Every structure is written in C-alpha cells, then in structure tokens.
A and B are shown apart, each in its own frame.
Chain A
Amino acid sequence: MSATTLPARRAPIRLRVGFGEAAGFLLVGAMLLLMAMGEWIAPHSATAFNPMHTLEAPSFSFPFGTDEFGRDVFSRVLAGARPTLLLAISAAALGVVLGTVTGLTAGYRPGAVDETIMRVMDALMSFPGLILAMLVVVMLGPAAINVVTAIALVFWPRSARLVRAVVVDLAQREFIEAARSRGETSRFILFRELLPNVLPIIVVDFSLRVTSGILLAASLAYLGIGVTPPTPAWGLMVRDGQQFIEIAPWLVVWPCLAIALASIGTVLLGERLRHKLALPGGGRAR
C-alpha cells in the first residue's frame, strides 16, 4: 500500500435540502433583477445625505428606516445588490475558468508538469482564503476589479484541485486509453473526451463558488477592505451600522438579511444543479 491510497478529498461541501428548490430559483432571479436594475427601483438616492431624517425607524416612506446620514436603507440595500453579486459572480467565473484549465492540464499530464502546478496550488491553498484575499486587495488597492482578482485567486487552487481529481480518475478509464491507442492528440483528448465529462462538475463547482464569493465579498466589505464609503455594499453597511445596533438595529438587520437571502438562494439553486446535471440523454435509462 502506498500513501496514495489516502482517502480522496471529496467535493468541498455536500449540503442538501429536501425543500425549496423553487425558492432558490425565485431568490436568485430576484437578486439578478436587483443586480440589473436595483438602482432604478430604489425610491430614494442610495448616497444622498438627508439631515432631516437621520436614524429614523422603518416607516411608510422609509420602509427599512434611515441611517445616521439620513440615507434610505431600503434604497441602499437595493443598490447594494450589484456590488456584491457582480463581484461574486465574476470572481467565481474567473476562478473556476483558471482552475479548470490548470486542473485539466495537471490531471492529464502526470509527472513534472502535474507536480509543479500542484505545488504552486498547494502554496496558494496554504493561505486561509480570507487572509489571501485581504493580502491581495491591500496590495492592489481598493477597487472592485482587485476584489474580483483576489477572490478568484482564492478559488483558483481549490477548483484546480477538484478538476484535477476528477481528471485523474477519468484518465484511468478505458475510453481515454481507447482514444490514446487510436492516436488522438492530447488537445483532442483534453477538450473533446475529458472536458464534456468534467463540465457538469465545473458547473456545480461554479454555483458553489458563487455562494462562497458572496460570503467572501461580504466579509471583505465588512472588514472595510476593497470598498470605500459611500458605496452601498451590504457588508460595509453592516460595518457602519454596527455602532448603532442598540438604538437602530435596522441598520444591520436589512443588509444582513439581503446577504442571507442571496447566499441561501445560490445554495438552493446549486443543489438543484447538482441533481439535474448527471449525464446526457436526460433520464432515459435503458
């Protein structure tokens, strides 16, 4: 027995619920709508100060109340969808694409190429995710694109590991040997034989990464990293509202709820994807 028989690392998380797949669709749909046009639906400006109405409790004209500068919390929560979700989705996409290319290459080329790539990935992995993201954003400066880069850098080695594990497993299967014995090129085997088999896993991975992306982006914003006031990012709103938690809890409750709904929505949708994306040919068993 060699040490390679250590149990294979499984997919990062296996959450499942027996209900609410429709809720997932609904939540994600609503969030995407907000992302596209939250600013226009908002009844008030998300950034304009209003000294007449500071720290007001929720009312008919300010349904989620107002903050210490008199800004409408409802409008800010609506407008905050874009900075959070857009970041999460682009970071997840970038990270998963990078991870897929690296994972495919490493998995199909055992030996020096694989070793080199995976040691670099190990090094990236040995930073706890949040710490690495902090480090990168701090050095690149506070801008949305830098936050995307930082989060993608966190996802990259994790996706690469997952894809590599799947590819290593597939590469031992006989249909790959069949392709090799036919004389197919490596490119053909990677992209035509392997990729279709890895794709469902990549899609599910992407959906998981969007969830973690929302959480990471919200945590960075909460720590005051990457976004600057007065951007209406949900995490930042929580950070700023925290000092008033005893007199104006609505300042933290509504943005927290927004984060919760967005990430729970993506979790539920990801679950749905995992069940749906099995094999081609739909459910037609023999």
Chain B
Amino acid sequence: MQALGFILRRVALLAVVLLAVSVLTFAIVNVLPGDVATAVLGDMATPEQVTAVRAALGLDQPLAERYLRWLWAALQGDFGRSLQHGQAIAPMLSGRLGNSAILGLITLGIAAPLAVALGVVAALKPGGWLDKVIGAIAVGAYALPEYVIGLLFILAFSIWLPLLPGSSLMDPNENPFSRPEALVLPIAVLITGMLAFISQITRASMIQVMGSAYVRTAILKGVPRWRVVMKHALPNLLPPTIAEIGMYFGYVIGGLVVVETLFSYSGLGQMVTNAVSYRDVPVIQAVVLLVAAAYGIGNLIADVAALLMNPRLRS
C-alpha cells in the first residue's frame, strides 16, 4: 500500500514535470530573445521574408494557443515538419530512437553491474592498491570529456592498431546489429564515462555499509567474510545505488550526443546536433521532449526498482 502510494505519487510527479518540461521547451524557443524566424533565415533576412516565415510557422498567433496546439499535436505523435528537410519529423525519429536506445541500454547493461562490482571491490580494502588503481582510473575517466576518451580509443584501436572501425556511419534505418564491430568503440567510451561515477559512489556507500552496526553483528555472529558482503552488505547497498544510477541516465544521454557525433552514428544525439547547426527548431523541440521523457521514465524505473528491493519501503 505504501509502495503503491509512492509509485502513484511518483507517476503523478513525472506527469507534472513533463508538462513543465514541455512549457520550458516551448518557452525557451519562443520567449527568449532569439526569434525562430530570424534564427531560420539568419540575420540578413528582409522583413518580408521574416513575416512570411512567421506566418508559415504559425508564429503570428497568440502564445498560449500556439503552445496548446503544439502540445496536442505532439501528444498524438505529430511533431511537425523539419525546416531543414521539409519532411515530417515523427518518422525520422523512430529509427534513430531505436539506434540510440541500443547504445544506451547496452552501455547501462554492462556499465552498471561492472561499476557496482568495481566499487564494492575497492571498498573492501579502502586505501589498498586495488582501491587506488580503481580510484585513479575513475578520476581520469571523470575528468575527460567523452570525445577525448573516444579520440584516444580511435587513435589506439583503429589507427595505430587497426582492429575496429573509427566511424560508425550508417543509414538511420539500418540495423546496427548488422555491423556489431561498429558498436564496440562508442559503447566502450560511454561505459568508461559511467564507470567513473558509479564505481566511486558505490565505493562510498559500501564503506559506510561495511562500517555499520548490522555488519558488525554479522561478523560477531561468526559469518564468513564473503557471506557478510553478499548477504548482509549488498541487499542494503543496492537500493540506493540503483536510485543513484537512475540519476545518471541524463549523463548517459549527454554522452550519447557527443559519442554519436564523434562516431557519426545515426541516433537522436547526432540528429539533434545536426538540427542545432541548421537551427531546425521543430526537430530540436521534438528531440528534447523525447529525451526528457526517456530520462524521466528511466529515473522512475530506477526509483521503483530501488523501492521494491527495500523491505523498509515495500511493506
């Protein structure tokens, strides 16, 4: 009952937040000083051209009405037409959304368990050599932007040692699994970035858990060390760590934008950077809304998973 209430409240909150996101997205595009029409046409446009574009985009209507109309269409999957390509946006999104999801989910699937394992191992002997090595790698991975790590990987594994393709260029509707070797480097970059955060957060919580009174109780009950870690520490460590991992979905999404651009991988990230350089405002709005929704849902799933693993909150 308590858990159900929590989930309901969390879903309601997500709906409110997504509504706020849509308002913000709309507002940033429409209220900030940069006018969409001038953004499209550039500074050299004549006033007549501007008026024409504004009419074409419906910019001459009241703000609230435009917002409601845009939101209503978006809810039905109609994000309008791309200014750059003139095509409807929705069909452009679907293939790319799948491609990005493949990168992101594989990354999470590998990075999350690996990072938690590394954090636990590091915490078993704080200050030991293993802890120091993991810590140093984490600092390095944290301090470098994804493209720096990516370029290092490209230099190492595709130029000096020509093992893997340095570019993952493909048609948006091509199945990425038909060329799995092209996925290796982008995923490796994303994993490296994620390891840094999660392993160090896990390490800190694990040290705290291992110093807790209930772990002391287990040790003084004569429970062997490995069993203390697996049966007594982990069940308490995982729920907050999973919720924490949910917080870093946003980080993965940011990483996707950079990595897709770096490897010319046709996903949402690459789409949005392209749209940005062409000031293709409807595409930007669509992608941002989609990404925020994905982020919110991911976060929600993580929180609910954490909740279901915690007996304190489940009952």
Contact = CB atoms under 8 A, between A and B. Distances in A.
Interface of A: 1-3, 5-7, 9-10, 13-18, 119-120, 122-131, 134-136, 138-141, 211, 215, 218-219, 222-225, 235, 238, 242, 245-246, 249, 252-253, 256, 259-260, 263-264, 267-268
Given A252-B151, A260-B144, 14 more contacts: A5-B313, A9-B243, A9-B247, A18-B135, A128-B251, A128-B254, A131-B254, A131-B272, A135-B284, A138-B284, A219-B258, A222-B145, A224-B276, A224-B277
Interface string B21-56: 101110011001110000100000000000000000
B135 A256 contact: no
B70 interface: no
A6 B127 CA distance: 30
Interface stretch (B88-96, B105-113, B223-231, B290-298): B290-298
Nearest to A153: B28
17 contacts: A1-B313, A7-B239, A15-B139, A16-B200, A119-B17, A127-B288, A128-B253, A130-B257, A130-B258, A134-B272, A138-B276, A219-B146, A224-B273, A224-B276, A249-B159, A264-B140, A267-B142
Contacts of B132: 17-18
Q: Would you list the 7 A-B pairs with minimal beta carbon distance, nearest first?
A: A130-B254, A123-B20, A128-B250, A7-B240, A128-B253, A263-B143, A3-B6
* B9, B23, B284 pick with most chain A CB within 10 angstroms: B284
Given A223-B276, A246-B159, A16 B284 contact: no
B145 A14 contact: no
B5 interface: yes
A70 to B, nearest CB: 23
Interface string B73-93: 000000000000000000000
Nearest to A218: B145
Nearest to A215: B145
Nearest to B160: A249
A13 B200 contact: yes
Given A15-B200, A123-B20, A135-B288, A3 B29 contact: no
A13 to B, nearest CB: 6
Nearest to B7: A3
Contacts of A235: 145, 147
A182 to B, nearest CB: 36
B34 A141 contact: yes
Contact of B273 (A223, A238, A259): A223
A230 B296 CA distance: 38
Contacts of B258: 130, 219, 222-223
Contacts of A223: 257-258, 261, 273, 276
B145 A259 contact: yes
B178 to A, nearest CB: 25
**Which of B5, B28, B148 counts the most chain A CB atoms within 10 A?**
B148
A266 B272 CA distance: 30
